[in-house]
C-alpha cells in the first residue's frame, strides 16, 4: 500500500474494468483506492451501466453509498424498486439484496463508495 498522497485526476484517466458475464454492460473504475492511493478507510468507484445492462442481484456485508452522475436507472433494495436519476443519492445497507439496472438509452453512471478491503467484513 502506498503512503496516502493527495491526488486530482479525471475519472476517465482510471482504467475501466469490465465486470463480466454476471453484470452485462457494466464497467467499474476504482478512482480512489487503497492500493494505488493509500486510502486507509474508503474506496470510491465510478460504475457505468450501458443501456440494457444491469448488475447481478447480490448481497454483501458492507454498504454502498451511491450518487447518480449520469443517466437513468432503477435500483432494487431488498425487493423494493426505485427510479433514480442525476443527483439522486442511494444508500444500500450492509446485508441488503440489491441490483442496479439501466432504465434509459444512455449510459447510467453513479459513484459507489465502500470501505477499503481490509475494513470490509468477509461474511
Ligand atoms: Zn453490491
Q: What are the tens digits of pLDDT across the range 20-35?
A: 889 999 999 999 999 9
94 C-alpha to ligand 1 centroid (Å)? 9
8 C-alpha to ligand 1 centroid (Å)? 26
What is the C-alpha to C-alpha distance for residues 79 and 82, in angstroms, rounded to an integer?
10
Q: What are the tens digits of pLDDT across the range 55-110?
A: 999 999 999 999 999 999 999 999 999 999 999 999 999 999 999 999 999 999 99
31 C-alpha to ligand 1 centroid (Å)? 17
Q: What are the tens digits of pLDDT across the range 72-84?
A: 999 999 999 999 9
Q: Which residue, 40, 47, 33, 50, is CA-closest to 92? A: 47
What is the percentage of the chain residues whose pLDDT exceeds 90? 91
92 C-alpha to ligand 1 centroid (Å)? 8
Q: What is the CATH number of domain 47-116?
A: 2.60.120.10
CA dihedral 79, 90, 82, 69 (to 10 degrees): -140
User: Which residues have a Cβ under 8 Å from the Cβ of 83 and sit 6 or more positions away?
Assistant: 72, 73, 74, 103
Cα within 13 Å of Cα(26), Cβ side? 20
What are the grid coordinates assigned to 31, written together? 478512482
Amino acid at each position: 500500500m502506498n503512503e496516502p498522497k493527495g491526488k486530482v485526476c479525471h475519472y476517465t484517466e482510471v482504467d475501466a474494468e469490465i465486470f463480466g458475464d454476471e453484470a452485462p454492460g457494466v464497467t467499474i473504475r476504482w478512482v480512489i483506492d487503497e492500493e494505488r492511493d493509500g486510502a486507509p478507510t474508503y474506496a470510491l468507484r465510478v460504475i457505468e451501466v450501458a443501456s440494457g445492462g444491469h448488475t447481478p442481484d447480490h448481497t454483501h456485508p458492507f454498504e454502498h453509498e451511491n450518487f447518480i452522475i449520469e443517466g437513468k436507472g432503477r435500483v432494487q433494495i431488498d425487493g423494493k424498486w426505485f427510479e433514480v436519476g442525476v443527483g439522486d443519492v442511494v444508500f444500500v445497507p450492509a446485508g441488503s439484496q440489491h441490483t442496479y439496472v439501466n432504465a434509459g438509452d444512455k449510459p447510467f453512471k453513479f459513484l459507489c463508495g465502500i470501505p477499503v478491503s481490509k475494513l470490509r467484513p468477509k461474511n
